Amino acid sequence: MRKKFFSSSRAVLAVMTVGCCYAFAATAFAAPINHGDFDDISGGGSTFYLDVTETPNTLPAPPGGFLEPEVIVNKLDFDPAGFAAQSLGGTADLTDVQLNFTVETVDGAGITSLLFSEGGDFSLFGGTDLTKVIARMIIDIEILQVDGIDLLDSIEVQASATFEVDATMSIPSDPFWSIAQLIEFAPILANEGISYDLGVTKAEIVVDNQLAAFSEAGSIAFIAKKDFMVGPGIEIDPNVIPEPSTLVILCLGMIGITRARFA
């Protein structure tokens, strides 16, 4: 997989306030952590997540980062530990980690959409609107293959989602945050004049994940990421016979359903 990194201008998280500007830039990279390949084939699915790699864009790197992911149904799920930003007494803190991976389907399956979602908790104490926390994910998708056929020219899709709250806003006693970004491939392919039966079958994904905390004298700001998930919408060709292992699993599932009905 070709590794892609955001340029410094795209990996900058800047917060403009009255008379004040905080800006962070990704100026150094820590050693990448390669988690390997994952799939949902054993569960009867058809989705592969290949060369899943995280790279801290800020130092020091968060302890644990995203940690080892797992596939739940066909979704790639991370439960980060130590992925946080904390600020007190007028400082600012940024944690920025990038994910790279390839998503690919087999057995006559196509990806119709990708849903990126993440969440966690935060806390704010004292301060004004200058005391705040921000979570942001910047998504870059390069579509390489449609209906199993490589594209002559790849299609690049970009999107982002942001959560922001400051100390002047109404904050619940147990504050949690979440953001999500759904990317539908049908209008993108239609705009490129590409006809298809199933959808995207291979794409490279880059997600830049950022947490930022800002404070003033006498105030505290904290935010942590606890969950990150990528989930594809899948279209299955009914005329394609699944691989033997997949077929066996499907048959066993049908046997279980039949027994339950007549038990």
Predicted pLDDT at 229 = 97
pLDDT along the chain (263 residues), means of 10: 47 44 54 93 90 91 83 93 94 95 93 97 96 98 97 97 95 91 97 95 97 96 96 81 46 42 41
Enter the pTM of the model: 0.83
Q: Report the C-alpha gap between 210 and 139 in whole angstroms.
A: 12
Alpha carbons 48 and 178: distance in angstroms, whole number: 26
Write out the H or E segment, with its range, that includes residue 27. none
Short-list 145, 70, 152, CA closest to 109: 145
- Would you tell me how many other CB atoms lie within 10 Å of the CB of residue 26? 24
Beta bridge partners, 113, equal 184, 233
